[in-house]
Amino acid sequence: MSIHEWQQFVQSSLTECPLVAINSDIVNETIVSDLSHLGLLQLSGSDASTFLQGQVTNDVRLLDGSRAHYSGYCSPKGRLLALFLAFTHQNRLHLQMPKELIEGISKRMRMYIMRSKVEIQDVSDHVIRIGVSGQQASESLSKLFQAIPQETLTSSSAEYGTLLKLPGTHARFEIFTDIANAPHIWHTLLSQAKPASASYWEWLDIQAGIPDVVLKTQEEFVPQMLNLDLVGGINFKKGCYTGQEIIARTHYLGTIKRRTYLAKLNGSTKPAAGDEVVNHANEIVGKVARSAESPWGGYDVLAEIRQDSLSNHELSVNAERLTIGELPYKLEPSTSS
Protein backbone atom coordinates (compact mmCIF):
# COMPACT_ATOMS: atom_id res chain seq x y z
CA MET A 1 0.00 0.00 0.00
CA SER A 2 1.31 3.45 -0.97
CA ILE A 3 0.64 6.71 0.88
CA HIS A 4 -1.93 7.55 -1.81
CA GLU A 5 -3.69 4.24 -1.18
CA TRP A 6 -3.56 4.87 2.57
CA GLN A 7 -5.25 8.23 2.15
CA GLN A 8 -7.87 6.66 -0.12
CA PHE A 9 -8.42 3.99 2.53
CA VAL A 10 -8.99 6.65 5.19
CA GLN A 11 -11.39 8.54 2.93
CA SER A 12 -13.38 5.41 2.13
CA SER A 13 -13.71 4.62 5.85
CA LEU A 14 -15.34 8.02 6.32
CA THR A 15 -18.31 7.02 4.15
CA GLU A 16 -19.38 4.61 6.89
CA CYS A 17 -18.08 6.66 9.80
CA PRO A 18 -18.09 10.38 8.87
CA LEU A 19 -15.88 13.00 10.48
CA VAL A 20 -17.35 14.23 13.73
CA ALA A 21 -18.55 17.84 13.56
CA ILE A 22 -16.47 20.49 15.33
CA ASN A 23 -18.99 21.67 17.91
CA SER A 24 -19.29 21.59 21.69
CA ASP A 25 -20.07 17.85 21.66
CA ILE A 26 -16.73 16.85 20.13
CA VAL A 27 -14.76 17.65 23.29
CA ASN A 28 -16.53 14.76 25.05
CA GLU A 29 -15.77 12.30 22.27
CA THR A 30 -12.82 9.97 21.88
CA ILE A 31 -11.43 10.76 18.45
CA VAL A 32 -8.96 9.35 15.96
CA SER A 33 -7.28 11.52 13.34
CA ASP A 34 -5.05 10.84 10.34
CA LEU A 35 -1.97 13.07 10.70
CA SER A 36 -0.71 12.79 7.12
CA HIS A 37 -0.79 16.60 6.89
CA LEU A 38 2.35 16.71 9.05
CA GLY A 39 5.84 16.29 7.63
CA LEU A 40 8.55 14.01 9.01
CA LEU A 41 12.32 14.15 8.53
CA GLN A 42 14.49 11.18 9.41
CA LEU A 43 18.18 11.46 10.34
CA SER A 44 20.28 8.32 10.28
CA GLY A 45 23.97 7.44 10.29
CA SER A 46 26.63 7.10 12.96
CA ASP A 47 27.02 10.88 13.33
CA ALA A 48 23.31 11.77 13.27
CA SER A 49 22.99 12.54 16.97
CA THR A 50 26.20 14.59 17.16
CA PHE A 51 25.26 16.49 14.01
CA LEU A 52 21.78 17.38 15.24
CA GLN A 53 23.09 18.31 18.68
CA GLY A 54 24.91 21.26 17.12
CA GLN A 55 21.83 22.42 15.22
CA VAL A 56 18.88 22.55 17.63
CA THR A 57 17.78 24.12 20.92
CA ASN A 58 17.20 20.91 22.89
CA ASP A 59 19.51 18.11 24.02
CA VAL A 60 19.37 15.36 21.40
CA ARG A 61 21.16 12.96 23.76
CA LEU A 62 17.98 12.75 25.85
CA LEU A 63 16.10 11.06 22.99
CA ASP A 64 16.75 7.54 24.24
CA GLY A 65 13.92 5.74 22.44
CA SER A 66 11.42 6.16 25.24
CA ARG A 67 11.31 9.95 25.43
CA ALA A 68 10.48 12.77 23.03
CA HIS A 69 10.66 16.56 23.27
CA TYR A 70 9.97 19.76 21.38
CA SER A 71 12.91 21.57 19.87
CA GLY A 72 13.69 24.59 17.73
CA TYR A 73 15.91 25.07 14.70
CA CYS A 74 17.21 28.63 14.46
CA SER A 75 19.11 31.01 12.24
CA PRO A 76 22.45 32.37 13.47
CA LYS A 77 20.46 35.37 14.75
CA GLY A 78 18.46 33.10 17.07
CA ARG A 79 15.23 33.31 15.04
CA LEU A 80 13.15 30.17 14.58
CA LEU A 81 13.23 28.51 11.17
CA ALA A 82 11.27 25.50 12.45
CA LEU A 83 9.81 24.05 15.60
CA PHE A 84 9.39 20.30 15.75
CA LEU A 85 8.52 17.28 17.84
CA ALA A 86 11.72 15.24 18.07
CA PHE A 87 11.89 11.54 18.90
CA THR A 88 13.60 8.30 17.96
CA HIS A 89 11.73 5.60 16.08
CA GLN A 90 13.34 2.32 14.98
CA ASN A 91 16.72 3.66 16.16
CA ARG A 92 16.57 6.73 13.93
CA LEU A 93 16.04 10.38 14.81
CA HIS A 94 12.79 11.95 13.59
CA LEU A 95 11.64 15.55 13.42
CA GLN A 96 7.92 16.22 12.91
CA MET A 97 6.90 19.64 11.60
CA PRO A 98 4.51 21.25 9.07
CA LYS A 99 4.93 19.52 5.72
CA GLU A 100 5.52 22.84 3.96
CA LEU A 101 8.82 23.24 5.84
CA ILE A 102 10.28 19.83 5.02
CA GLU A 103 12.03 20.65 1.75
CA GLY A 104 13.62 23.88 2.95
CA ILE A 105 14.72 22.56 6.34
CA SER A 106 16.21 19.37 4.91
CA LYS A 107 18.09 21.38 2.27
CA ARG A 108 19.45 23.77 4.90
CA MET A 109 20.54 20.96 7.22
CA ARG A 110 22.36 19.18 4.39
CA MET A 111 24.49 22.29 3.90
CA TYR A 112 26.13 21.61 7.28
CA ILE A 113 26.70 17.86 6.98
CA MET A 114 30.23 18.30 5.51
CA ARG A 115 32.01 15.00 6.18
CA SER A 116 29.62 13.80 8.87
CA LYS A 117 28.08 10.38 8.39
CA VAL A 118 24.49 11.57 8.30
CA GLU A 119 21.63 10.89 5.92
CA ILE A 120 18.56 13.14 5.94
CA GLN A 121 15.37 11.78 4.37
CA ASP A 122 11.79 12.94 4.01
CA VAL A 123 9.80 9.98 5.36
CA SER A 124 6.45 11.79 5.55
CA ASP A 125 4.92 9.27 3.14
CA HIS A 126 6.46 6.19 4.75
CA VAL A 127 5.76 6.55 8.48
CA ILE A 128 2.01 6.71 9.09
CA ARG A 129 0.95 8.84 12.03
CA ILE A 130 -2.42 8.55 13.75
CA GLY A 131 -3.66 10.77 16.58
CA VAL A 132 -5.98 9.59 19.36
CA SER A 133 -7.55 11.84 22.00
CA GLY A 134 -10.35 11.74 24.56
CA GLN A 135 -11.46 10.20 27.83
CA GLN A 136 -11.45 6.67 26.41
CA ALA A 137 -8.19 7.07 24.48
CA SER A 138 -6.17 4.77 26.74
CA GLU A 139 -8.90 2.12 26.71
CA SER A 140 -9.09 2.20 22.93
CA LEU A 141 -5.32 1.94 22.57
CA SER A 142 -5.07 -0.98 25.01
CA LYS A 143 -6.38 -3.24 22.25
CA LEU A 144 -3.20 -2.49 20.30
CA PHE A 145 -0.55 -1.68 22.90
CA GLN A 146 0.13 -3.63 26.08
CA ALA A 147 1.83 -0.64 27.71
CA ILE A 148 0.20 2.79 27.54
CA PRO A 149 2.65 5.60 28.37
CA GLN A 150 1.58 7.50 31.47
CA GLU A 151 4.04 10.39 31.42
CA THR A 152 3.83 13.19 28.86
CA LEU A 153 6.29 12.84 25.97
CA THR A 154 7.16 9.24 26.78
CA SER A 155 6.58 6.34 24.44
CA SER A 156 6.13 2.58 24.30
CA SER A 157 6.50 0.16 21.40
CA ALA A 158 4.62 -2.92 20.20
CA GLU A 159 4.46 -5.02 17.06
CA TYR A 160 2.15 -2.44 15.50
CA GLY A 161 4.45 0.52 16.05
CA THR A 162 5.32 3.20 18.62
CA LEU A 163 2.88 5.06 20.88
CA LEU A 164 3.75 8.52 22.21
CA LYS A 165 1.81 10.45 24.85
CA LEU A 166 1.40 14.13 23.95
CA PRO A 167 0.79 17.11 26.25
CA GLY A 168 -2.59 18.73 26.61
CA THR A 169 -5.72 19.24 28.66
CA HIS A 170 -7.19 16.21 26.86
CA ALA A 171 -5.58 12.76 26.95
CA ARG A 172 -3.66 12.63 23.66
CA PHE A 173 -1.48 10.09 21.92
CA GLU A 174 0.25 9.72 18.57
CA ILE A 175 0.93 6.40 16.88
CA PHE A 176 3.86 5.88 14.50
CA THR A 177 3.53 2.84 12.28
CA ASP A 178 4.10 1.58 8.75
CA ILE A 179 1.66 1.48 5.88
CA ALA A 180 1.17 -2.29 6.23
CA ASN A 181 -0.11 -2.07 9.82
CA ALA A 182 -1.95 1.26 9.57
CA PRO A 183 -5.31 -0.08 8.22
CA HIS A 184 -5.62 -2.58 11.09
CA ILE A 185 -4.85 0.12 13.65
CA TRP A 186 -7.33 2.53 12.05
CA HIS A 187 -10.16 -0.02 11.99
CA THR A 188 -9.48 -1.12 15.56
CA LEU A 189 -9.61 2.45 16.83
CA LEU A 190 -12.77 3.25 14.88
CA SER A 191 -14.59 0.58 16.88
CA GLN A 192 -14.40 2.91 19.90
CA ALA A 193 -13.50 6.33 18.54
CA LYS A 194 -14.86 8.76 15.97
CA PRO A 195 -12.78 10.20 13.15
CA ALA A 196 -11.87 13.89 13.47
CA SER A 197 -10.28 16.32 11.04
CA ALA A 198 -6.76 17.73 11.03
CA SER A 199 -8.34 21.06 11.99
CA TYR A 200 -9.60 19.61 15.28
CA TRP A 201 -6.18 18.11 15.98
CA GLU A 202 -4.73 21.58 15.42
CA TRP A 203 -7.19 22.92 18.00
CA LEU A 204 -6.03 20.30 20.50
CA ASP A 205 -2.42 21.41 19.99
CA ILE A 206 -3.46 25.01 20.55
CA GLN A 207 -5.28 24.10 23.77
CA ALA A 208 -2.08 22.40 24.91
CA GLY A 209 -0.22 25.68 24.30
CA ILE A 210 2.10 24.12 21.73
CA PRO A 211 3.30 26.80 19.28
CA ASP A 212 4.30 26.32 15.66
CA VAL A 213 6.33 27.90 12.88
CA VAL A 214 5.24 27.90 9.23
CA LEU A 215 6.77 29.37 6.07
CA LYS A 216 5.11 32.74 6.67
CA THR A 217 6.47 33.04 10.21
CA GLN A 218 10.01 31.76 9.73
CA GLU A 219 12.55 34.08 11.42
CA GLU A 220 9.77 36.06 13.13
CA PHE A 221 10.30 34.68 16.64
CA VAL A 222 13.07 34.06 19.13
CA PRO A 223 12.18 30.70 20.81
CA GLN A 224 11.16 32.28 24.13
CA MET A 225 8.60 34.46 22.32
CA LEU A 226 6.76 31.22 21.47
CA ASN A 227 7.15 29.84 25.02
CA LEU A 228 9.50 27.13 23.79
CA ASP A 229 11.34 27.34 27.11
CA LEU A 230 8.06 26.73 28.97
CA VAL A 231 7.17 23.56 27.04
CA GLY A 232 10.60 22.01 27.59
CA GLY A 233 11.93 22.91 24.17
CA ILE A 234 15.20 24.61 25.18
CA ASN A 235 18.05 23.06 27.12
CA PHE A 236 20.27 25.80 28.53
CA LYS A 237 23.01 23.37 29.62
CA LYS A 238 23.58 21.44 26.38
CA GLY A 239 26.33 23.59 24.86
CA CYS A 240 26.69 25.32 21.53
CA TYR A 241 24.22 25.24 18.65
CA THR A 242 23.19 27.63 15.90
CA GLY A 243 21.68 30.78 17.45
CA GLN A 244 22.61 29.67 20.99
CA GLU A 245 24.36 32.89 22.00
CA ILE A 246 21.31 35.08 21.42
CA ILE A 247 18.90 32.58 22.97
CA ALA A 248 21.09 32.23 26.07
CA ARG A 249 21.44 36.00 26.38
CA THR A 250 17.67 36.33 26.18
CA HIS A 251 17.38 33.82 29.00
CA TYR A 252 19.96 35.24 31.39
CA LEU A 253 20.11 39.00 30.96
CA GLY A 254 16.66 40.51 31.36
CA THR A 255 12.91 39.96 31.26
CA ILE A 256 10.91 38.40 28.46
CA LYS A 257 9.05 41.24 26.80
CA ARG A 258 7.00 39.10 24.41
CA ARG A 259 5.20 35.85 25.11
CA THR A 260 2.64 33.63 23.39
CA TYR A 261 -0.93 33.61 24.74
CA LEU A 262 -3.98 31.46 24.17
CA ALA A 263 -6.76 33.70 22.91
CA LYS A 264 -10.12 33.71 21.14
CA LEU A 265 -11.58 35.52 18.13
CA ASN A 266 -15.32 35.50 17.51
CA GLY A 267 -15.14 36.41 13.81
CA SER A 268 -16.22 34.25 10.88
CA THR A 269 -12.88 34.33 9.04
CA LYS A 270 -10.01 32.15 10.20
CA PRO A 271 -6.91 34.20 11.10
CA ALA A 272 -3.71 33.08 9.41
CA ALA A 273 -0.32 32.52 10.96
CA GLY A 274 1.54 35.81 10.70
CA ASP A 275 -1.57 38.01 10.94
CA GLU A 276 -0.85 41.06 13.07
CA VAL A 277 -2.15 41.72 16.56
CA VAL A 278 -2.82 45.44 17.06
CA ASN A 279 -3.79 47.57 20.06
CA HIS A 280 -6.39 50.34 20.41
CA ALA A 281 -4.03 52.78 18.66
CA ASN A 282 -3.60 50.38 15.73
CA GLU A 283 0.00 49.76 16.78
CA ILE A 284 1.34 46.31 15.90
CA VAL A 285 2.06 44.48 19.15
CA GLY A 286 2.24 40.85 18.06
CA LYS A 287 1.52 38.11 15.54
CA VAL A 288 -0.69 35.03 15.30
CA ALA A 289 1.41 31.85 15.55
CA ARG A 290 -1.37 29.33 14.82
CA SER A 291 -5.17 29.15 14.80
CA ALA A 292 -8.02 26.66 14.54
CA GLU A 293 -11.81 26.56 14.55
CA SER A 294 -13.19 26.43 18.09
CA PRO A 295 -15.89 23.90 19.05
CA TRP A 296 -17.73 26.83 20.67
CA GLY A 297 -17.64 29.00 17.56
CA GLY A 298 -15.10 31.48 16.31
CA TYR A 299 -11.40 30.63 16.40
CA ASP A 300 -8.85 29.90 19.09
CA VAL A 301 -5.33 31.14 18.49
CA LEU A 302 -1.87 31.14 19.93
CA ALA A 303 -0.62 34.70 19.48
CA GLU A 304 2.78 36.15 20.32
CA ILE A 305 2.10 39.49 22.02
CA ARG A 306 4.16 42.24 23.62
CA GLN A 307 3.43 41.86 27.32
CA ASP A 308 3.11 45.55 28.11
CA SER A 309 0.20 45.78 25.64
CA LEU A 310 -2.05 43.41 27.58
CA SER A 311 -3.18 45.97 30.15
CA ASN A 312 -5.42 47.97 27.78
CA HIS A 313 -7.59 44.92 26.95
CA GLU A 314 -8.24 46.27 23.46
CA LEU A 315 -6.31 43.94 21.19
CA SER A 316 -7.57 42.78 17.80
CA VAL A 317 -6.68 40.72 14.75
CA ASN A 318 -8.15 41.67 11.37
CA ALA A 319 -10.50 44.12 13.16
CA GLU A 320 -11.87 41.32 15.38
CA ARG A 321 -11.43 41.65 19.13
CA LEU A 322 -8.92 39.27 20.69
CA THR A 323 -9.88 37.88 24.10
CA ILE A 324 -6.97 36.51 26.13
CA GLY A 325 -7.55 33.13 27.78
CA GLU A 326 -5.48 30.83 30.00
CA LEU A 327 -2.70 28.52 28.93
CA PRO A 328 -2.40 25.07 30.56
CA TYR A 329 1.00 26.13 31.92
CA LYS A 330 2.14 29.27 33.72
CA LEU A 331 4.10 32.08 32.13
CA GLU A 332 6.70 31.90 34.85
CA PRO A 333 8.71 35.03 35.71
CA SER A 334 12.06 34.79 33.99
CA THR A 335 15.41 36.49 34.13
CA SER A 336 15.54 36.78 30.35
CA SER A 337 14.97 39.61 27.86
Question: Do the domains 215-324 and 3-207 match in fold?
Answer: no
Which CATH architecture group holds 215-324?
Answer: Beta Barrel (2.40)
* CA dist., res. 111 & res. 81, Å (int): 15
Which pLDDT score, from 0 to 100, does residue 181 have?
95
Confidence of residue 90 (pLDDT cuts 50, 70, 90): confident
* CA dist., res. 212 & res. 290, Å (int): 6
Which pLDDT score, from 0 to 100, does residue 336 have?
37
Which pLDDT score, from 0 to 100, does residue 254 have?
66
Residue 311, pLDDT above cutoff 50: yes
Q: What is the pLDDT of residues 213-243, one digit of tens each?
A: 999 999 999 999 999 999 999 999 998 999 8
Confidence of residue 82 (pLDDT cuts 50, 70, 90): very high
Residue 125, pLDDT above cutoff 70: yes
Strand partners, 278: 284, 316
For range 311-325, the mean pLDDT: 92
- Long-range contacts at 280-286 (CB < 8 A, ≥ 24 apart): 280/312, 280/314, 283/309, 285/309, 285/315, 286/258, 286/315
Mean per-residue pLDDT of the chain: 94
**Secondary structure of the chain in HEC code, one letter for each residue:** CCHHHHHHHHHHHHHHCCCCCCCCCHHHCCEEEECCCEEEEEEECCCHHHHHHCCECCCHHHCCCCECEEEEEECCCCCEEEEEEEEEECCEEEEEEEHHHHHHHHHHHHCCCCCCCCEEEECCCCEEEEEEECCCHHHHHCCCCCCCCCCCCEEEEECCEEEEEECCCCCEEEEEEECCCHHHHHHHHHCCCEECCHHHHHHHHHHCCCCCCCHHHCCCCCHHHHCCCCCCCCCCCCCCCCCHHHHHHHHHCCCCCEEEEEEEECCCCCCCCCCEEECCCCCEEEEEEEEEECCCCCEEEEEEEEHHHHHHCCCEECCEEEEECCCCCCCCCCCCC
Which CATH architecture group holds 3-207?
Answer: 2-Layer Sandwich (3.30)
Q: What is the pLDDT of residues 143-188, one digit of tens each?
A: 999 999 999 999 998 888 999 999 988 899 999 999 999 999 999 9
| CA geometry: angle 286, 37, 139, nearest 5 deg | 105
Domain boundaries, the chain: 3-207, 215-324
What is the value of pTM for the model shown? 0.95
Residue 230 CA to its chain's centroid (Å)? 14
* CA dist., res. 281 & res. 271, Å (int): 20
| Neighbouring C-beta atoms of residue 168, cutoff 10 Å | 17
